[in-house]
Structure 1
Amino acid sequence: MSLQVISIPPTTGQAPTGVIVALHGWGANAEDLADLAPFLNLPDYQFLFPNAPFPHPYSSVGRAWYDFQRNEGIQESRQLLTDWLSSLESETGVPLSRTILSGFSQGGAMTLDVGLNLPLAGLVCLSGYLHPITQGTKPDTLPPTLIIHGTRDSVVPITAAQNARDILTSLGVAVQYQEFNMAHEVIPAVLNLMRSFVLQVMSVESPKA
């Protein structure tokens, strides 16, 4: 398997100062999140939007990271994303320490699943959830993580986000957590907060002048 990826280069025409990867949700595709890139107002960054490897059972254009009903495909997607992310520096010239991994819904779950085990600059989980973590698990790398969720989300309940916050905090992850009065969606306030988080963690990673 391989990943099909939409790549949006920096609008400055210069080499990227950082990379933002965004994983779409179950039944969506890469184009779903790619449309949001301009609204983040991060002209120095390269955006990468991969398509999930599996077809969606109820949509001809939708993709899935794994099958919810049978929980099949998660291992394949985990390995595929890990290998792809690890190879990005050779393609973009940007190290993982300058790369943000983000995702919406099922993509948010994959972001936490894969991202906690890589030396990334930060993770962003939008309307997502945390896969079960084995008791005693503590990854070596713990990127700062932003979790955003809607209080009116009828697809992924708010308790899933609160659970992720509490477990990650107990592992030692620096978690920023924010609830909005919204459903299973991305509103402008979410993009504004995500932009602030990206700039914050990237400034920490930047070399001192």
Structure 2
Amino acid sequence: MSLQVISIPPTTGQAPIGVIVALHGWGANAEDLADLAPFLNLPDYQFFFPNAPFPHPYSSVGRAWYDFQQNEGIHESRQLLTDWLSDLESETGIPLSRTILSGFSQGGAMTLDVGLNLPLGGLVSLSGYLHPIAEGTKADAFPPTLIVHGTRDSIVPVTAGENARDMLTSLGVAVQYQEFNMGHEVIPAVLNLMRSFVLQVMSQEVPKA
């Protein structure tokens, strides 16, 4: 089992200064998030959009990181993503410390699940949630984390975002949390916030327009 990945190089034609990985949600696919890349206005970064390894039960084009009812596949997806991210540095020449792992909904849950155990530059969970965390989980330094949620989200309630914020904060994660008046979606304001977060944790000046 391997991951199929859409790769979008920097639009500057230069070598990337960082990497952004984005994990799609349950029933979507890599192309859904790849369409959003230009709107982040991060031309110096290389983007990677992996396809989840499992077919979606109700969509011929949708993918899933795991089955919601039985959690089947979660261990396989966790290992696949961990191995792939660990190998990414040798492929791109960019260290994990300059790599942002992000995701939407189920992809946001996988971002937190996998990303807290890797020396990444930052994590972004959009309309996501937190898997149960093993007792005694700790690290020398967790990646800074942005959690964004909609107050009108009928798919993943806003309480899921609040619970993730509270749990991660209690573990010592540097969490930036923001709610928007939106449903289960990604609006332009969310992309603007994500862009600001990336520039902040990467300590890069905002590119001139």
Give 3-state SS (helix, strand or coil) of 1:179's partner.
strand
Which residue number in structure 2 is paired with residue 195 of structure 1? 195
Distance 1:72 1:82 in 2: 17
Q: Deviations over 1:134-160 (max 9, x none)?
A: 222113440000000000000000000
Distance 1:199 1:86 in 2: 23
Give 3-state SS (helix, strand or coil) of 1:59's partner.
coil
Which letter maps to 2:23? L
Q: Where do residues 1-209 of structure 1 align in structure 2 (5 Å cutoff)?
A: 1-203=1-203
Q: Deviations over 1:105-138 (max 9, x none)?
A: 0000000000000000000000000000122211
Distance 1:44 1:68 in 2: 36
Distance 1:166 1:175 in 2: 9
Task: Check conservation: 1:118, 1:141, Cα contact below 8 A.
Answer: no
Distance 2:63 2:163 in 1: 26
Q: Deviations over 1:13-39 (max 9, x none)?
A: 000000000000000000000000000
Task: Check conservation: 1:30, 1:49, Cα contact below 8 A.
Answer: yes
Task: Check conservation: 1:100, 1:123, Cα contact below 8 A.
Answer: yes
Q: Deviations over 1:36-94 (max 9, x none)?
A: 00000000000000000000000000000000011100000000000000000111110
Moved over 2 A (4+): none
Task: Check conservation: 1:78, 1:114, Cα contact below 8 A.
Answer: yes
Distance 1:139 1:26 in 2: 29
Task: Check conservation: 1:98, 1:121, Cα contact below 8 A.
Answer: yes
TM-score, with structure 1 as normaliser: 0.96
TM-score, with structure 2 as normaliser: 0.96
Task: Check conservation: 1:66, 1:73, Cα contact below 8 A.
Answer: yes
Task: Check conservation: 1:116, 1:141, Cα contact below 8 A.
Answer: no
What value does the CA root-mean-square deviation take over the aligned residues? 0.8
Which letter maps to 1:45? Y
For structure 1, the 5+ residue unaligned runs are 205-209
Q: Deviations over 1:154-196 (max 9, x none)?
A: 0000000000000000000000000000000000000000000
Give 3-state SS (helix, strand or coil) of 2:19's partner.
strand
Count of residues in correspondence between the two structures: 204
Give 3-state SS (helix, strand or coil) of 1:184's partner.
coil
Give 3-state SS (helix, strand or coil) of 1:60's partner.
coil
Which letter maps to 2:181? N
For structure 2, the 5+ residue unaligned runs are 205-209
Among all aligned residue pairs of Structure 1 and Structure 2, give the percentage whose two residues are the same amino acid: 90
Task: Check conservation: 1:6, 1:48, Cα contact below 8 A.
Answer: yes
Give 3-state SS (helix, strand or coil) of 2:61's partner.
strand
Distance 2:12 2:154 in 1: 39
Distance 1:181 1:47 in 2: 28
Distance 1:67 1:39 in 2: 31
Distance 1:84 1:141, change over 3 A: farther
